[in-house]
Structure 1
């Protein structure tokens, strides 16, 4: 009798497992066939690759935007709900009073593909579903960039009322300049993913190449074939792309190395946002980008305060607006004409209020400086009778102060000065700033030094001697120390240029930078 080897536990359980597997496969076959049916494509068909992300939302987009510049074109298929939340222009133009939207028939659009449902209602569209769950015709808005008729016209998106037949296809031209890749349009999704026919039957299976790789390859191919555009057209495409990027919470593509180039790009983007009533959304992005430059930004603001004051106003950047406002007030009335042409009256009112506050402080300091005096050993105020040499020290100091805080009188064509007139009640801030900074400096030799004192004393030969010169310099140093304490309130600085960098960063600035700007001084409401 031949003994049979005992089956291993695994082989013993194999028939039982196979039976279970066979039974389960029989039970689950209908559900599997239903789930896989829509991923198959038969002979002559094509697989469908869904695309529903920026810049083309093929499933749920209901606002088509075409931006043409030169020979290039950017195409976007976005959501009315998102655009109206970010832009007052789109909110008004898609309203029932102004809208030119066309019916979007469910039978002839990608929204009605088997297994896909329209999400236009979720994104602010006008389509909805009936009781039976059948998609009813929605609305679709179409905008094209109109360059205008004249050279001075500003390009503007205009709404087109041309309707499309249900069986018509959207434009087949790819979006060349979108930084996310062109992406297939709603009608070009078929065939966007490569397929291969299997050997065993007529079914075709999806390729293993990811769809984002295909999109990237197509974008590279399109960029290589893209026509050469002038700088104006490139800037226009970039600005519109950045505007719509920000609407969808994508970071804008702005220069992150050169602060001057970044300013030009941000200024252009803010002008476009102002054109479409979207400053509240775009401004914070611009503010965030520019503040990353830190010290380089503060130096640029010091060079071009008027330009950055307008940029800070449009972007509602508290830091940039404050920094530029301090420079503008310190140099007032320099640039007044440019400011009145570039900024609204509300901002000019803020500037003038701050100028009045600074002039009032300067007047108080100036009055104290002219009342400074020396005293004798007995504690009496020096006069020509009780201390002539000390009185000369005070006279020379006051003469220097008057000369350095009063603007030069106007001259005629021959270079001669006009007849002397009364000095202004408050001298221009630009003329007093450097004088007060000199008074407040710790360098006692910055003004009225030894050589000037010696030259002054020699005007009276009977008073000049080595001892008298030494006494004269000592008394002048006492007067300078008192003046340094008096002008201290004018030497404070609220600039980020000083707070964030070294204390020597604003030494070249001759005007006063002590203006304090709070939340109440901003031309927009700010929560404390």
Structure 2
């Protein structure tokens, strides 16, 4: 047996915990020593570079900044359909090209001192910016090269190289070029778009490894932009099922501020909730979209699939049917005399006035606003050249309507977006419509019956109408929002069931 001399550069075998502890303490005591030609390289085996176990290298180079990741195929394929497909036997270049494999040297104790190579498959991806500004940056699979993080061995530190002699002119040129390169990189600044893309890729891989993404937790408007950008990237790599719950968890921390933002931008948050498969965000946005429909229709038709549009139109139709039935009951609402007869101008004129005033207020409040009058120039032109025939006015009106029509078909005709406030007034225990002064002015229009006593009777009978109307509109008073519903002018009583979520059939979605 040939004894090997001890050397400080020899590779120590990993032993029991006591031996390992001793080795660590010894290295710690020698840390302060300076050895000529030595190396302080310590292989990293943690995110984002797993030097010992990583088998997928990802290089994200944008501008003057390069982020390198050495990750695991097992985790990437579990989180992303893109990596699952591109590293498969059918698609991966590693299965076809010798450069895609790397030999790990191992000792076979069962042979006669021979060494066998254990081949491990390797993958390398680089970010391709595309040839034009319209191209979407995408990771593409590349061959491993000399600059790869794999190196010649994934468990050995780089070889020790002696310091070159001071008389070597190439050494000084290399140092000078390196300094110039570093200065150039320091002076080049990234644009906001480039910084966002670097952040999105880093957040994507952080989520894959169960790390919290770096997202704004103070400014919800900025957090929305970051979350939307990250979800778009996750959609590109078929990783929404993993990234979506993280986005949902982050945004729900804003609580009341989130609900207020959804009320301001419901169609935008509807898409975000759909991509993140967030039940809470999607439901909140859907209720606002249905109540204010057809506002935001163009954005929804362009950015969301047909399944979401079909869901919205079904909910709008259901809400319209409910409102129609309740409106019919309200317009049929009346008072009866002491003999149980419906009031008429003949049997109780004062009570009939109460019913008439209520119906007139209801019609004015629930009807869409009238069309604007024609411009002053059109009126003066008609006065100079005589009256216009009804047929000509009809043609002009039709032409104007066609010119102002939306290029997309409307699911429902334009509605009065103030319906929510109207029905909330009808359902309020302390109604604010038709107050005392308005009743007084109305009754004074009939001086022959106006008196203090008749006014009291008028208001008493009107209160009976209000109480009956309050019971009729109860189905519309339900607020299905997580946030406050009284601040909006439309109805927010749309019920969202479990089967209504577009992704429910796949079993996905966060709470």
Residue 427 to residue 74, structure 1, CA distance change in 2 (3 Å): closer
> CA offset at residue 266 of structure 1?
0.4
Gaps of 5+ in 1: 1-30, 116-131, 173-184, 193-220, 498-504
Q: Note if contact 1:170-1:187 (Cα within 8 Å) is conserved in structure 2.
A: no
Deviations 1:42-80 (A, max 9, x none): 975546623211111111211111111221110011111
> CA offset at residue 379 of structure 1?
2.5
> CA offset at residue 188 of structure 1?
9.4
Residue 136 to residue 467, structure 1, CA distance change in 2 (3 Å): same
Deviations 1:304-358 (A, max 9, x none): 1111110000000011101111111111111111111111000011111111111
| Distance in 1, Cα, partners of 2:65 & 2:156 | 19
> CA offset at residue 463 of structure 1?
2.0
Higher alpha-carbon deviation: 44-53 or 261-270: 44-53
Residue 133 to residue 269, structure 1, CA distance change in 2 (3 Å): farther
> CA offset at residue 387 of structure 1?
0.2
Q: Does 2:389 align with 1:438?
A: no
Deviations 1:340-380 (A, max 9, x none): 11110000111111111111111111111011111112322
The equivalent of 1:121 in structure 2 is none
- Length-normalised TM-score, structure 1: 0.73
How big is the alpha-carbon RMSD for the aligned residues of Structure 1 and Structure 2?
3.5
The equivalent of 2:386 in structure 1 is none
| Distance in 2, Cα, partners of 1:37 & 1:517 | 62
| Distance in 2, Cα, partners of 1:432 & 1:447 | 14
- Length-normalised TM-score, structure 2: 0.75
The equivalent of 1:451 in structure 2 is 437
| Distance in 1, Cα, partners of 2:412 & 2:147 | 75
Higher alpha-carbon deviation: 43-52 or 256-265: 43-52
- State how many pairs are aligned: 423
Q: Which of 298, 301, 306 lines up with 2:262 in the alignment?
A: 301
| Distance in 2, Cα, partners of 1:233 & 1:425 | 43
Q: Which of 160, 163, 170 lines up with 2:148 in the alignment?
A: 170
Q: Does 2:75 align with 1:82?
A: yes
| Distance in 1, Cα, partners of 2:414 & 2:36 | 90
Moved over 6 A (4+): 34-43, 415-421, 424-427
Deviations 1:186-227 (A, max 9, x none): 6994599xxxxxxxxxxxxxxxxxxxxxxxxxxxx99x9585
> CA offset at residue 426 of structure 1?
8.4
2:448 aligned counterpart, secondary structure: helix
Q: Does 2:299 align with 1:349?
A: no
The equivalent of 1:150 in structure 2 is 132
Q: Which of 477, 480, 485 lines up with 2:471 in the alignment?
A: 485
Q: Note if contact 2:287-2:481 (Cα within 8 Å) is conserved in structure 1.
A: yes
Q: Note if contact 1:72-1:227 (Cα within 8 Å) is conserved in structure 2.
A: no
Residue 308 to residue 150, structure 1, CA distance change in 2 (3 Å): same
The equivalent of 2:298 in structure 1 is 337
> CA offset at residue 436 of structure 1?
1.1
Deviations 1:110-151 (A, max 9, x none): x54999xxxxxxxxxxxxxxxx88442222211111111112
- 1:197-208 aligned at under 5 Å gives the runs none
- 1:221-240 aligned at under 5 Å gives the runs 227-240=188-201
Q: Does 2:203 align with 1:246?
A: no
Residue 340 to residue 59, structure 1, CA distance change in 2 (3 Å): same
1:74 aligned counterpart, secondary structure: strand
> CA offset at residue 448 of structure 1?
1.2
Q: Note if contact 2:102-2:122 (Cα within 8 Å) is conserved in structure 1.
A: no
Q: Note if contact 1:330-1:429 (Cα within 8 Å) is conserved in structure 2.
A: no
Q: Which of 416, 420, 428 lines up with 2:415 in the alignment?
A: 428
> CA offset at residue 427 of structure 1?
7.4
The equivalent of 1:310 in structure 2 is 271
